[in-house]
C-alpha cells in the first residue's frame, strides 16, 4: 500500500513541495493584493500564461534570466492596467472583465509563440534558473536540501510573503490599498485617489502573477507548452479565499496544497497500478473546492470587493 | 469626465453595441495581422470566404455554431441572474457522458423515443453538475466562479479516465474513445451532403423556449429581478435562493444539451477533444448577444464563422489560427465598453449638476 509517512519523511518530498509552492505563492499574493483593493482579478490564469510566455521568450531571444523576469512582470503589469481600465475606471463587471482578459491574454500568448516559432517539432528549450546551494545552510540535514538547495526565484517567492505583509499592513500605502477595498468613500474623503490606488494595486498584483507564470517556464521547466498553467491561476483564487486575504495564511495554504500535490505525485508512483492516474490529477482541483468550503463560514470578504467606485456617487 | 445614465435607450443603440464591438475587435486584431506581414483587408476577406464562401463552408459554420448556441444560452441565462457559471465546458462533457452511458446499447428504443430520452438525460446530467456549486453558493456563499471553473478540470479528467479505462471502445484500434452511439440514438443529418445535423433544431428550439421563458413567465421575471437587484427581489417576495438554484439547473441543462448534440449529432462517440473550449467561447457568445436568448443565434453564428474562417485563413495566409481565440477574447472586452456606452453618456467634468 501507499506508505504516506515514509514519503513525508524524505527530503525529496519537501524539496518538491517548495518547488511546487513557488508559483502558487506569487499568484496567490498577486490575487490577494488585487482583492484587498476591492478588485477580483479573474485575469490571473491568462496573466500567468502570458508571463510564462514572455519571460521564456525573452530568454530564448538571447535575454538574461533576471531581465526576463522583469520583462514578464512588466507585461503582467500592463495587463493589470488593461484590467483596471475596465474594472476600475469604467466600473464594468469584474467577473466578465477577468474572464475576457484570461481568454485574450492566453490566446495572445499562443499567437505570439506561434508567430515567433512557426514550425517547431520539438519544443525549444532555454537554460533555466539553476539550483543554487547556500553555503552552510544547504549542508543542514533534511532542511538544507529541501529549502536551501533551490533556485533563487523560489527564495524570491518566500521573500515576497513578509514583504507584501509589511507593505499592506505596516505602511500608509498598504492602509490606503486595504481601505480602498473596504470603504472607498472614506479613502476619497482623505483626499486620496481611490481609482489610482486600485489601479496601482491591480498592476502590482498582476506583475506578481506574471512572475508566477514565468517561474514555471524559467525555473520549474525550460520550455513553454500550450495549456501549461492548467488552472493554477484559478487555484490561486481559491487559495486567497482559504487564506482569508492574509499573506501569512496564504503561504500556509499554498504550502499545504503543494505538499498534497507532491505527496500525490509520489503516491501515484506507488499506487499507480491500482488507482488510475486521473484521480491523482483531480486532487488539486477537488482540494481547492474543499478548502473553499472549509473556510466559507469564516470568509470575511473585503467589503467593497466587486463594487466599482464612482466619484461623487453616494453609496 | 463623468458617466451619466441615458434616459431613453433606443433599439438602434442596443443593436449597435455588439456590431461596433465586433468591428473594434477586428480592428484591434488587425495589428497582429500586420505583424504577420499579411494585408489586413485581404486576410479578413479570406476569413469571410472561409466561413461563408461555399456551401461546404456555410455548412461547417452552421454545424460549429450549434454547440456555441447552447453553451451561449447556458451562460446567458445564468449571467442574467448574476450567477456566474463558467463551467459550461464541464457540463457539456457531462451531457456527453449521459449520452454515451445510455446511448451505446444500454437502452434500445426506436428513434422516436430514443432521441428525446437522450436529450432529457443529457440535460439532466448537465444540470446535475451545478447542484453542488449552486448549493454551496446559496447556503455557504462559496464563490461559484471558482467552483465551476475547477469542476471543469475534474470532469475532463474523469472523462479521460472513463474513455481510457472502463468505457474504452475495444474496436477503436487503441484510440481513447468510447463506444459509438447506436443508430437509433443518432440525430439525423439535415442535408444529404455535409455534417449539418438536427442538433440545430435543438439549439433553435432552446433559444426560442428560453426567450419565451424569460419574457413571458414568472420564472423569467424572477430570474431577471434577482439579477437586477437581489435585495429588491427579496423585498418583493421572490424566493431568491430558489430562483438562483432554478437558474443554475436550467443553465447546466442547456450546456448538457451541447454535449448531447456533439456526441449524438456530430461525432457519434465520445472523445477527449469533443469540445475545443465551447464552454468558454459560450461566454463570449452570451456577452456579444447582450444575454438576449434570440440574439444568441447570430452571435453564435458569428463566432463560429470566426473559427471556421480562421482555419482556412491560416491555410491561405501566414497567420496562426490562434487569431480566432484572440478575436473571441477581444470581443468580450470590447462589448463591455460598448454596452457601457449604450447605457451611459460621457460628460465632461465641471458641467455636471
Structure confidence by residue, pLDDT tens digits, A265-286? 887 777 766 788 888 889 889 9
For chains A and B, count residue pairs whose Cβ atoms are closer than 8 Å: 137
Residue B17, Cβ neighbours under 10 Å: how many?
Answer: 22
Cell numbers at residue A180, please?
480602498
Torsion on CA atoms B115, B94, B245, A231, rounded to nearest 10: -150
Which residues from chain A sit within 8 angstroms of residue B339, using beta carbons?
A: 92
Say yes or no to pLDDT of B352 above 50: no
Residue found under cell 471543469: B152
CB A167 within 8 A of CB A173: yes
- Contacts of residue A82, Cβ cutoff 8 Å, sequence gap at least 6: A101, B333
B227: which DSSP letter? H
Say yes or no to pLDDT of A120 above 90: no
Average pLDDT in the B185-200 region?
90
Spatial distance between the Cα atoms of B238 and A140, rounded to a whole number of angstroms:
64
Q: Cα–Cα distances in Å, from A238 out to A163, A183, A292, B146?
A: 22, 24, 6, 7
B170 vs A195: which has the higher pLDDT: A195
Closest partner CB to B153 (pick from A46, A285, A310): A285
- Flag if A234 and B149 touch (Cβ within 8 Å): yes
Which residues from chain A sit within 8 angstroms of residue B352, using beta carbons?
A: 312
Which residues from chain A sit within 8 angstroms of residue B21, using beta carbons?
A: none
Spatial distance between the Cα atoms of A292 and B147, rounded to a whole number of angstroms:
9
Q: Cα–Cα distances in Å, from A28 out to A42, A134, A247, A252, B257?
A: 12, 26, 8, 11, 36
CB B98 within 8 A of CB B118: yes
- Flag if B329 and A297 touch (Cβ within 8 Å): no
- Flag if B336 and A97 touch (Cβ within 8 Å): yes
Say yes or no to pLDDT of B173 above 70: yes
Average pLDDT in the B339-352 region?
71
pLDDT tens string B81-133? 999 999 999 999 999 999 999 999 898 899 999 999 999 999 999 999 999 99
Q: Sorting pLDDT into bands at 50, 70 and 90, what band is A295? A: confident
- Contacts of residue B19, Cβ cutoff 8 Å, sequence gap at least 6: none
Spatial distance between the Cα atoms of B122 and B144, rounded to a whole number of angstroms:
22
Domain architecture of chain A: domains with CATH: 4-117+151-296 (1.10.3470)
- Residue B179: helix, strand or coil by DSSP? coil
Max CA distance (Å), chain B: 75
Closest-approach residue (CA) in chain A for B341 = A90
Spatial distance between the Cα atoms of A145 and A298, rounded to a whole number of angstroms:
36
Closest partner CB to A111 (pick from B2, B32, B84): B32
pLDDT tens string B263-310? 999 999 999 999 999 999 999 999 999 999 999 999 999 999 999 999
Nearest of A103, A306, A308 to residue B334 by alpha carbon = A103
- Contacts of residue B229, Cβ cutoff 8 Å, sequence gap at least 6: none
Average pLDDT in the A112-137 region?
84
Cell numbers at residue B2, please?
463623468
Cell numbers at residue B139, please?
447556503
Minimal Cα–Cα distance from B257 to chain A, Å?
A: 23
Residue found under cell 498582476: A206
Say yes or no to pLDDT of B142 above 60: yes
- φ and ψ at A71, to 5 degrees? -65, -45
Q: Cα–Cα distances in Å, from B37 out to A219, B88, B118, B179, B325?
A: 34, 37, 49, 46, 19
- Flag if A96 and B332 touch (Cβ within 8 Å): yes
Q: Which of A5-19, B119-133, B223-237 has the lowest mean pLDDT?
A: A5-19
- Residue A149: helix, strand or coil by DSSP? strand
Average pLDDT in the A131-145 region?
75
- Flag if A231 and B153 touch (Cβ within 8 Å): yes
The residue length of chain A stands at 315
Closest-approach residue (CA) in chain A for B319 = A115
Q: Where are the domains of chain B?
A: 65-294
Spatial distance between the Cα atoms of A293 and B11, rounded to a whole number of angstroms:
44
Q: Which of A38-42, A252-256, B312-316 has the lowest mean pLDDT?
A: B312-316
Say yes or no to pLDDT of A314 above 90: no
- Flag if B326 and A108 touch (Cβ within 8 Å): yes
Cell numbers at residue B52, please?
461563408
- pLDDT value, residue A238: 92
Cell numbers at residue A43, please?
485575469
pLDDT tens string A23-48? 999 999 999 999 999 999 999 999 99
pLDDT tens string B7-44? 777 778 788 889 999 999 999 999 999 999 999 999 99
Minimal Cα–Cα distance from B318 to chain A, Å?
A: 9
CB B102 within 8 A of CB B212: no
User: Of A53, A111, A118, which to mutate for an interface test with B (greatest number of B Cβ within 10 Å)?
Assistant: A111
B255 vs A140: which has the higher pLDDT: B255
- Flag if B329 and A100 touch (Cβ within 8 Å): yes
Closest partner CB to A288 (pick from B136, B150, B318): B150
- Residue A43: helix, strand or coil by DSSP? coil
- Residue B84: helix, strand or coil by DSSP? coil
Closest partner CB to A104 (pick from B147, B151, B326): B326
Minimal Cα–Cα distance from A169 to chain B, Å?
A: 26
Burial group, residue B163, by CB count within 10 angstroms (0-12, 13-18, 19+): buried
Cell numbers at residue A106, please?
492566453
Amino acid at each position: 500500500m501507499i506508505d504516506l509517512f515514509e514519503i513525508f519523511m524524505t527530503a525529496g518530498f519537501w524539496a518538491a513541495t517548495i518547488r511546487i509552492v513557488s508559483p502558487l505563492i506569487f499568484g496567490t499574493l498577486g490575487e490577494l493584493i488585487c482583492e484587498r483593493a476591492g478588485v477580483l482579478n479573474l485575469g490571473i490564469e491568462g496573466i500567468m500564461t502570458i508571463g510564462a510566455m514572455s519571460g521564456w521568450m525573452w530568454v530564448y531571444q538571447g535575454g538574461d534570466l533576471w531581465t526576463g523576469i522583469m520583462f514578464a512582470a512588466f507585461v503582467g503589469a500592463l495587463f493589470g492596467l488593461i484590467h483596471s481600465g475596465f474594472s476600475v475606471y469604467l466600473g464594468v463587471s469584474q467577473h466578465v472583465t477577468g474572464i475576457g482578459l484570461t481568454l485574450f491574454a492566453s490566446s495572445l500568448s499562443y499567437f505570439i509563440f506561434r508567430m515567433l516559432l512557426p514550425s517547431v517539432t520539438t519544443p525549444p528549450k532555454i537554460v533555466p534558473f539553476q539550483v543554487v546551494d547556500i553555503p552552510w545552510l544547504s549542508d543542514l540535514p533534511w532542511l538544507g536540501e529541501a529549502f536551501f538547495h533551490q533556485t533563487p526565484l523560489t527564495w524570491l517567492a518566500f521573500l515576497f510573503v513578509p514583504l507584501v505583509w509589511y507593505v499592506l499592513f505596516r505602511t500608509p500605502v498598504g492602509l490606503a490599498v486595504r481601505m480602498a477595498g473596504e470603504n472607498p468613500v472614506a479613502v476619497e474623503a482623505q483626499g486620496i485617489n481611490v481609482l489610482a490606488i486600485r489601479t496601482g494595486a491591480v498592476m502590482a498584483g498582476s506583475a506578481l502573477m506574471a512572475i508566477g507564470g514565468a517561474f514555471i517556464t524559467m525555473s520549474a521547466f525550460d520550455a513553454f507548452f500550450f495549456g501549461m498553467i492548467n488552472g493554477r491561476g484559478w487555484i490561486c483564487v481559491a487559495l486567497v479565499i482559504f487564506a482569508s486575504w492574509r499573506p501569512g495564511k496564504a503561504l500556509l495554504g499554498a504550502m499545504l496544497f503543494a505538499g498534497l500535490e507532491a505527496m500525490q505525485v509520489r503516491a501515484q508512483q506507488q499506487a499507480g497500478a491500482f488507482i488510475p492516474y486521473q484521480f491523482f490529477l483531480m486532487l488539486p482541483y477537488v482540494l481547492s473546492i474543499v478548502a473553499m468550503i472549509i473556510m466559507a463560514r469564516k470568509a470575511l470578504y473585503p467589503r467593497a470587493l466587486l463594487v466599482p467606485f464612482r466619484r461623487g456617487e453616494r453609496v | 469626465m463623468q458617466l451619466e445614465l441615458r434616459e431613453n435607450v433606443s433599439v438602434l443603440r442596443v443593436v449597435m453595441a455588439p456590431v461596433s464591438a465586433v468591428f473594434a475587435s477586428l480592428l484591434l486584431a488587425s495589428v497582429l495581422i500586420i505583424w504577420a506581414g499579411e494585408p489586413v483587408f485581404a486576410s479578413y476577406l479570406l476569413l469571410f470566404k472561409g466561413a461563408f464562401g461555399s456551401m461546404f463552408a456555410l455548412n461547417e459554420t452552421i454545424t460549429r455554431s450549434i454547440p456555441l448556441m447552447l453553451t451561449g444560452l447556458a451562460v446567458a441565462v445564468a449571467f442574467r441572474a448574476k450567477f456566474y457559471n463558467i463551467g459550461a465546458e464541464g457540463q457539456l462533457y457531462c451531457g456527453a457522458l449521459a449520452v454515451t452511458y445510455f446511448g451505446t446499447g444500454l437502452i434500445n428504443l426506436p428513434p422516436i423515443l430514443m432521441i428525446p430520452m437522450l436529450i432529457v438525460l443529457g440535460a439532466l446530467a448537465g444540470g446535475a453538475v451545478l447542484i453542488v456549486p449552486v448549493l454551496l453558493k446559496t447556503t455557504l456563499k462559496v464563490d461559484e466562479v471558482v467552483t465551476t471553473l475547477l469542476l471543469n478540470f475534474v470532469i475532463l479528467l474523469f472523462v479521460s479516465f472513463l474513455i481510457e479505462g472502463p468505457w474504452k471502445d475495444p474496436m477503436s484500434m487503441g484510440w481513447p474513445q468510447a463506444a459509438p452511439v447506436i443508430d437509433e440514438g443518432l440525430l439525423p443529418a439535415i442535408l444529404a451532403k455535409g455534417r449539418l445535423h438536427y442538433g440545430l433544431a435543438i439549439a433553435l428550439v432552446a433559444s426560442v423556449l428560453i426567450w419565451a421563458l424569460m419574457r413571458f413567465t414568472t420564472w423569467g421575471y424572477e430570474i431577471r429581478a434577482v439579477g437586477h437587484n437581489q435585495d429588491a427581489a427579496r423585498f418583493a417576495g421572490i424566493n431568491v435562493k430558489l430562483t438562483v438554484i432554478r437558474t443554475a439547473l436550467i443553465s447546466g441543462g442547456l450546456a448538457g444539451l451541447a454535449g448531447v448534440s456533439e456526441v449524438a449529432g456530430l461525432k457519434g462517440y465520445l472523445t477527449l477533444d469533443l469540445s475545443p473550449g465551447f464552454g468558454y467561447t459560450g461566454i463570449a457568445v452570451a456577452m456579444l448577444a447582450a444575454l438576449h436568448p434570440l440574439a444568441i443565434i447570430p452571435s453564435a453564428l458569428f463566432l463560429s464563422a470566426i473559427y471556421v474562417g480562421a482555419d482556412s485563413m491560416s491555410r491561405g495566409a501566414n497567420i496562426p489560427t490562434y487569431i480566432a481565440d484572440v478575436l473571441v477574447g477581444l470581443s468580450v472586452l470590447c462589448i463591455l465598453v460598448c454596452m457601457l456606452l449604450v447605457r451611459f453618456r460621457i460628460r465632461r467634468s465641471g458641467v455636471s449638476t
